[in-house]
Chain A
């Protein structure tokens, strides 16, 4: 098959070289481009590429920062927090609160501490201001409930 190939780069066309060059010259359009326009386009392109480059640099630095933070968090979790398999509730509960709630001073907070306060309230006997566990200025049922809550919450503390 020796038909016409529209591909101008094809080498097997049967046109004479001179004819082919003449046809090519007919379709060539000479457009004069000012040097200023060239420079403007080039400057715009540079600005555009510079902006993209800065954006990628910012993304890269941000990624490095996140990766570093994640590594630090993993390291802390693995090497610092791992030895204790219990939730750190002991840190959440201020030790001083337990000292105040230990009403009978037996070294532990249990239901007896709450009972002593509740019994004193029920009997309308003088109340020790130190039993104001929640610090609201009065010794009442709220303090009793708080002591009892502390007593049963000890279940989440690491065994002594």
Chain B
């Protein structure tokens, strides 16, 4: 009986260690869910204002809800139809960076949907997008506007 603490003490400490090593971000997932999850498609548009858009990079943030990134699809214009660069492991609740470029000559000049971010959302969410890079073929920054709209998953 007196030997039991010898075995139980390290076991108890290892259990505590397991709890202490949990990623603090994981605890978010254990919070009570306010509503059932739903899938959503977040359409991101860039308007280059008449200039040809050769490269873009934006940050998308989902605020106020539990958001899981499912995937990112390309846009409607041929120049950006392929899936853009993004980090599949990005935590969308923090932010995700999406970027793409095209070295060709057939580039969009007007507002175009450059990407669609597929997400799983639990609860009401507010989408924030900021345009980090919008460049013309000469690799110079251009004045462009970004907008976001949430659509249904098709």
Contacts and interface: CB of A to CB of B under 8 A. Distances in A.
Partners in one complex: yes
Interface residues of B, number: 39
A153 B87 contact: yes
Interface string A60-75: 1001101100110110
A87 B90 CA distance: 11
A149 B13 CA distance: 40
Given A70-B13, A155-B90, A155-B95, A87 B23 contact: yes
B45 interface: no
B63 interface: no
Contact of A112 (B3, B55, B95): B55
Interface residues of A, number: 35
A151 B97 CA distance: 8
A74 B19 CA distance: 9
A1 interface: no
A152 B98 contact: yes
The 3 closest A-B pairs by CB, nearest first: A111-B99, A70-B13, A66-B10
Interface of A: 56, 59-60, 63-64, 66-67, 70-71, 73-74, 77-78, 85, 87, 104, 110-112, 114-116, 118-119, 122-123, 145, 148-149, 151-156
Given A63-B7, A112-B55, A145-B85, 14 more contacts: A63-B10, A67-B9, A73-B21, A74-B20, A78-B20, A85-B25, A87-B23, A119-B137, A122-B103, A148-B85, A153-B97, A154-B97, A155-B90, A155-B95
